[in-house]
Amino acid sequence: MSPLPFDPLLVSIAAPLALALAIALGLPKRWSVLLAYGAFAIPVLMALHVWWHFGDAAKDHGYAFLTRYSTGLDGLGIGLKLGLNGISLPLFVLAALVGFAAGLYATQSGAERLKIYLMLLLVMQGGLMGVFASVDIFFFYFFHELALIPTFIMVGVWGGRDRSYAAMKLTIYLTLGAMVSLLGLIMLYVKSGAHTFDLIVLRDHLAAHPLAATVQNNIAGLLLFGLGVLVSLWPLHTWAPLGYGAAPSSAAMLHAGVLKKFGVYGLIQVALPLLPDGLAYWAHPLAWLAVIGNVLIVGLITIAQRDLKQMIGYSSVMHMGYAFLGIAAGGIIGPGGVVFLMVAHGLSVALLFLLATAIYHRTQTFAMDEMGGLAQKTPVLAAFFVAATLASIGLPGFANFWGELAIFVALWKFSPLITALAVAGVVISAVYGLRSAARVFFGPPTAELTKVTAAHFPADLTLKERFPALILLAALLFIGLWPKSLTTPINAALTPQISAKIGNVTGR
């Protein structure tokens, strides 16, 4: 247990939700903004607290800080059970950090109807903290949906170009993904015979009574399809660039940075320990889909993008391909690398979305052809952007490098050919990443840009913009330079699962 007199996990979920409710019930605007700082900061404090105490906290099946609250569905084996293991801890911290940055950025964004905007962000934040803190699969799903709804509204109301169409498309695709994965989870619940959604109990139960191979394959297939849509697995990825292109920056930061990781996280946390044979059955088709579709095809599409925000959207689709590859590769290193990559990518893509909006405020356009030479006017912004781009490409020193490296190492044992193709993807991402940085910041300014800058001289990043960006960049560097801070808990969480799997295989 944590030394705090209250449950830090519950507080980190409840604080944003409570403030959102208070705003909905008519809290005045001045107070709303002030209190929002607090509501975004509390999860960060709680996350840092649990991260600090995780190593020496008492654990059950690798989960620390376990508490269970009844919501009245005990008869169905559903209850709000909160806890963190080595896989959810990094993502829990990620959600808190990105949420804090997105919240800070939103308070200074001057969005119309700021109160409602903040309220929706807070609901999203509460949902995100809940997703990674839930040990009960039902609530894990429930919190994901809770965080998803505000995205639709934020895209539809505060979005940019094509917002209405983008919101509709996003909603339908993500509902499809969510419903299919719900079907898979229901099937898991019924077929396991344990009549509980508690992940720990399910794991013990299934270790003793493993599911038949066909059942595992069917459930894994449903989960891969459903969660695949949510993580933009090719060819069901088209909602992502469109949605991110239209989404307001804070919503894009939270969704692309954190919420999208739900699908991959679900595969690692639920499917990997409970359905090892099912995942192994689908590993090859999944790997080929990911490497050809997500990495190569989408990678080439990314190169062709002219719109900065769409390009970042496509690049995030591409990087999710590596996550699927890591899951397909299996072992400890594969999924471990995926968790690492998710944290790194979450930080870097959120930073990129933040900076893209900052650039838009200065150039009034997202079209990269119409920018150029911005570095002379805004050197700090340029430095941040180049750093974020390098991180996203996977330069050593940044967190992304370690994640991709681990995935490639695991992938080599799985299939050298796929590994070769995946490594080629790194070149692609270097091409579009560096090209975008060059187009936006270097070279002579274009005629359009000169016209805009003549009207009002573009100021460099303001302090209020710099602070959230700095948080994200610092986290990226910290993890990149000291990867052990993440690998120790991840390793500890993944090791017993794999050995349990081997036990199953030999025992059958």
Measuring CA to CA, which residue among 181, 180, 179, 211 is closest to residue 193? 211
CA–CA gap between residue 181 and residue 138 (Å, rounded): 11
Nearest distance from C-beta of residue 289 to other proteins, angstroms: 22
Q: Do the beta carbons of residue 124 and residue 20 sit within 8 Å?
A: no
Q: Is 157 in the site for other proteins (CB under 8 A)?
A: yes
Q: Is 149 in the site for other proteins (CB under 8 A)?
A: yes
Q: Which of residues 17-46 bind other proteins (CB under 8 A)?
A: 24
Structure tokens belonging to residue 50: 């649990």
**215: Cα separation from own chain's centroid:** 29
CA–CA gap between residue 2 and residue 14 (Å, rounded): 17
Nearer to other proteins, 71 or 485 (CB): 71
Nearer to other proteins, 32 or 171 (CB): 171
How long, in residues, is the chain? Answer: 508
Nearest distance from C-beta of residue 126 to other proteins, angstroms: 10
Nearer to other proteins, 157 or 431 (CB): 157
Q: In 3-state terms, what secondary structure has residue 195? A: coil
Q: What are phi and psi of 244, to 5 degrees?
A: -70, -35
Q: What are phi and psi of 388, to 5 degrees?
A: -65, -40
Nearest distance from C-beta of residue 7 to other proteins, angstroms: 17
Nearer to other proteins, 172 or 427 (CB): 172
Q: Is 11 in the site for other proteins (CB under 8 A)?
A: no
Helix and strand counts by DSSP (H, E) for the chain? 23, 3
How many residues make contact with other proteins (CB under 8 A)?
Answer: 32
Choices 46-54, 87-95, 139-147, 480-488 (CB under 8 A): range interacting with other proteins:
139-147
Q: Which of 59, 163, 203, 260 binds other proteins (CB under 8 A)?
A: 163
Q: Is 171 in the site for other proteins (CB under 8 A)?
A: yes
Q: Which of 9, 23, 94, 146 binds other proteins (CB under 8 A)?
A: 146
Nearer to other proteins, 145 or 448 (CB): 145
Q: Which residue has the tokens 């001289």?
A: 457
Q: Is 225 in the site for other proteins (CB under 8 A)?
A: no
* 22, 365, 492 from 42: Cα distances, Å: 16, 35, 27
CA–CA gap between residue 132 and residue 143 (Å, rounded): 9
Contacts of 355 (CB under 8 A, 6+ apart): 381, 384, 385, 388, 469
Q: Which amino acid is at 379?
A: P
Nearer to other proteins, 182 or 423 (CB): 182
* 187, 189, 197 from 214: Cα distances, Å: 12, 16, 21
Strand arrangement of the beta sheet that strand 59-60 belongs to: 59-60, 63-69, 80-84
Q: Is 172 in the site for other proteins (CB under 8 A)?
A: yes
Choices 99-107, 166-174, 296-304, 384-392 (CB under 8 A): range interacting with other proteins:
166-174
Nearest distance from C-beta of residue 144 to other proteins, angstroms: 8
Choices 186-194, 263-271, 288-296, 452-460 (CB under 8 A): range interacting with other proteins:
186-194
Contacts of 208 (CB under 8 A, 6+ apart): none
Q: Which of 114, 142, 288, 448 binds other proteins (CB under 8 A)?
A: 142
Q: Which of residues 349-368 bind other proteins (CB under 8 A)?
A: none
Q: Do the beta carbons of residue 234 and residue 321 sit within 8 Å?
A: yes
Q: Do the beta carbons of residue 404 and residue 337 sit within 8 Å?
A: yes
Q: Which of residues 187-216 bind other proteins (CB under 8 A)?
A: 187, 189-190
Q: Which of 41, 48, 114, 145 binds other proteins (CB under 8 A)?
A: 145
Q: Which of 18, 45, 183, 430 binds other proteins (CB under 8 A)?
A: 183
Nearest distance from C-beta of residue 26 to other proteins, angstroms: 11
Q: Is 255 in the site for other proteins (CB under 8 A)?
A: no
Q: Which of 16, 156, 245, 313 binds other proteins (CB under 8 A)?
A: 156
Choices 176-184, 307-315, 432-440, 478-486 (CB under 8 A): range interacting with other proteins:
176-184
> 195 — alpha (psi -120 to 50), left (phi > 0) or beta?
left
Binding site residues, other proteins, CB under 8 A: 24, 71-76, 141-142, 145-146, 149, 152-153, 156-157, 163-164, 167-168, 171-172, 175-176, 179-180, 182-183, 186-187, 189-190
